[in-house]
Structure 1
Amino acid sequence: MKKKLAIFWFRRDLRLDDNAGLYHALRGANPVLPLFIFDRNILDLLENKADLRVEFIHSALSEVQQQLEELGATLEVRYGAPVAVFRHLITEYDIAGVYTNSDYEPYAAERDGAVQKLLEEKGIFFRSYKDQVIFEKGEVLKDDGKPYTVFTPYSRKWRALLNDFYLAPYPVKKYWGNFLQQRHKAMPTLGSMGFRKTGESFPPAVVGAELLRKYEKLRDFPAVKGTSRMGVHLRMGTVSVRALARKAVELSDAYLGELIWREFYQMILWHFPAVGQGRSFKPAYDHIRWRNNEEEFARWCSGQTGYPLVDAGMRELNATGFMHNRVRMVTASFLAKHLLIDWRWGEAYFAEKLLDFELASNNGNWQWAAGCGCDAAPYFRVFNPTLQAKRFDPDRNYIRRWVPELEGLSYPAPMVDHEEARKRALAVYAKAVKDR
């Protein structure tokens, strides 16, 4: 007779410590089998078979597996569509219930609904917990019960609600003895799933106190190590957002503000899912007459625009999967405003290239840069990439690293004149808004 067990389904929470869903699973009545699914519904869409994100996940799972083996347990790793995987698991194990942590993206909600339906038809419960954010869904609302659509008042309410209860870690370690005791099970290799290693290194899963103390002063300068590089760790849950928020409360209000921005965009995506499906938050902006010149888009992608800061950012992204946040704003604004290329083209390109890609933040930031998103300001903001470079890379250290041919004859002339492009963008945007 099969022994009854519970499953904890890892997704965006690849750690054994301070993990909400895992804590509740291990405190339950049944031993816990930890599970991860390499989801073919996602992986089959990835054209780049040297995808850094898949490699990062595989590496993180290897660390979790090593920890579990030290506890006499093992990680069950499957490769397939989640519903199909659970159909198999139901036949292999006597499953009492499945625990997991909530994911708020449209595909994730659809996936979880399908899995929950399958499980409940078999008499198996499905429980999901808040873990990747401090506040989720409807926890930060206006006094009339409606969601905020402007960041500053949302941030004020978020801060007013914050207390030690929301920052307290889950003491998962106390219950590690409740993992199902099993011999080691091998994980699928990257090669068996059609991917290959790149050999790239990943940012460490720690952020130093000194960096946070200097964060507000240095975060806008791409040539210095002034940002935390925690994006991918927050995306995949290799660090706890509660731990980062506790550090931020103690050491850097500016860094806490960045964590709040992340949650603001998560909340927007949850309440207004159409933004994650190609719609502008401000509907009138869906009627902008984009130029969408494919040759110009290709030059932007490859870092050949003739604007050094834009080109440095795009080359850094293509080479490493990372781009500094200040430079992300400049490159995004340049595509949407200077070239009048649909922001969705740029959003998709970043989604393909960024190691720390997260739908809510990527979409929110692109819409902010394009002027069609959750922003109290109108569309008039057009970053001047030359002035941005002078202000935030005054010695050109960042630019020289990525655009070494800058002083030579091979560097291209600017694609567009800034002032002419700015006037053109304002006229096109004004017409779209006026006509609606």
Structure 2
Amino acid sequence: MRFHTSLFIFTRDLRIDDNVALIEACNNSDEVICCFVLDPNIAKKDSYRLRFLLDCIKDLKNEFVRRKSILQIFSGDYHWAIQQIERQKKINAIFINKDFTPFAKKRQTEISAYCMKNKKLFCQYVDHLMYDPNLIKTLQGKPYTIFSQFFRSSVQIPVPKPREDKITNFYSEKISDYAINSNFVERGGGRKNALKILQNISEHVDYKIKRNYPGVDGTTRLSAHNRFGTISVRELYHSIADSLGPDHILISEIYWREFFSHILYHFPDVVKKSFRRQDISWKYNQAHFEAWKQGKTGFPIVDAGMRQLNNSGFMHNRVRMIVASFLTKDLHIDWKKGERYFAEKLVDYDLAVNNGNWQWVASTGCDAQPWFRIFNPWLQQKKFDPDCRYIKKWIPELAPLNSNQIHRLEKESFGSDYPRPIVDHSKESKIAKQMFG
């Protein structure tokens, strides 16, 4: 079916190239109105994630200008935005890329209801995942809950190449007067920045080793771009496979993202409760939780991670595991509280991935680490930040101390005003084993 005028709504796919639903809209319509709807509740909060998002929108808007067209930007809810568009131009169909979070599914349901009521076609496509979640199933037709099995099955299915359709039939008359706030420090968002990283992906040949050392620039910093879709997962996969080989560790990380997204799709209750082990009697100490959030626990590697999060919106992946383990198995606080705090702070926050990783560390998720495996923060920092480069960067009060002194802060203070450890790790790890055992 061909449409005269269609509407395409950007969500977590902030690019024109290799955008499945956008390409389908353009190929099946005479003209396509493109819009982005900014949640006013998000816009009110000056967060690192908002600044990154605004970078992405600004870059996308400029790309439309370059193509002699307009990105219509609204601040409000989707129903209102669609009505504003229809006041100026009647639309025959709405195109969108599917998302599988509870908020996104609610949004898609509301748009679908609007289309049914107003006799429009609602067209949804899978774009931010390599595979439709209903495609990867066991022989019994059930979703996989073990990563290794999911991986072995899904790698048998070729990942589609990025689409190179040349689309130009965008609607070019202005509808919205909303202006993006430009009075902010840029945070590296936008497709241009993503492509620069992707073009140099071959530099990460030693990623498997370097990714564990927070004091080394060994990560790709593509997670936020992946989250907001400034590059497609297909572009990411094939760039890595072509430059580093299909067996590179970065490929498996794409599949972990895919796995957790499929888990969220098939088991949406993981947002509210543990996938397994719902019998854990978590404890709650407000002072301990505040110390963890503020990076004042007296455990340097934990505090450095939390301060990096609070002051940049990012946290090194190895350190994410350490701070999550500390919250759940040293402080015995419910993983959901930590997950919610990360949701507030992380630029690259992805519900499926964040939830999956937290439940993996807390030993409550599908295919989680064994409950008796507990990260020792003191050993972790000695192994992965031996010279304390990362710790000193984020904890300036420890800068005067040498690395040996910092690694001995478990027992001595060396006259520093840095807080003493709020718990005894060896004691708390035994309690954690009793809780899970």
CA distance in 2, matches of 1:423, 1:411: 26
Alpha-carbon deviations, 1:49-86, whole Å to 9, x = none? 21122222222122222121222210111111112222
Number of the residue aligned with 1:43: 42
Number of the residue aligned with 1:32: 32
Q: 3-state SS of the aligned residue for 1:31?
A: strand
315-324 vs 243-252, greater mean Cα deviation:
243-252
Number of the residue aligned with 1:422: 429
8 Å contact kept, 2:361–2:368: no
Alpha-carbon deviations, 1:68-127, whole Å to 9, x = none? 122221011111111222233333321010111111111111110111111121111110
8 Å contact kept, 2:360–2:368: no
CA distance in 1, matches of 2:369, 2:70: 52
CA distance in 2, matches of 1:372, 1:382: 13
Correspondence list, 1:28-427, <5 A: 28-40=28-40, 43=42, 49-161=45-157, 163=158, 166-172=159-165, 174-176=166-168, 178-182=169-173, 186-190=177-181, 197-198=184-185, 200-202=187-189, 204-205=193-194, 206-207=197-198, 208-250=200-242, 251=244, 253-276=248-271, 278-282=272-276, 284-285=277-278, 287-375=279-367, 377-406=369-398, 407=401, 408-427=415-434
Paired residues in the alignment total 412
Q: Quick one: which amino acid aligns to residue 170 of structure 1? A: R
CA distance in 1, matches of 2:134, 2:228: 23
CA distance in 2, matches of 1:183, 1:361: 37
Q: Quick one: which amino acid aligns to residue 100 of structure 1? A: I
After superposition, the Cα gap between the structure-2 partners of 1:376 and 1:348, relative to the gap in structure 1 and judged at 3 Å, is closer
Number of the residue aligned with 2:412: none
Alpha-carbon deviations, 1:157-194, whole Å to 9, x = none? 12122x2xx3311123x222x11232596543349xxx
CA distance in 1, matches of 2:363, 2:432: 11
Alpha-carbon deviations, 1:271-310, whole Å to 9, x = none? 000112x21101x32x322221000011111111111110
CA distance in 1, matches of 2:299, 2:49: 29
Query: Structure 1 unaligned runs (5+)?
Result: 431-436
Q: Quick one: which amino acid aligns to residue 42 of structure 2? A: L
Q: Quick one: which amino acid aligns to residue 436 of structure 2? A: Y
After superposition, the Cα gap between the structure-2 partners of 1:202 and 1:115, relative to the gap in structure 1 and judged at 3 Å, is closer
Q: Quick one: which amino acid aligns to residue 155 of structure 1? A: F
8 Å contact kept, 2:72–2:175: no
| Runs of 4+ that moved beyond 6 A | none
Query: Structure 2 unaligned runs (5+)?
Result: 402-414
RMSD: 1.9
CA distance in 1, matches of 2:134, 2:217: 36
Alpha-carbon deviations, 1:6-44, whole Å to 9, x = none? 11111111111111111101111320111111134x527
Alpha-carbon deviations, 1:200-233, whole Å to 9, x = none? 4559312323333121121111111111111111
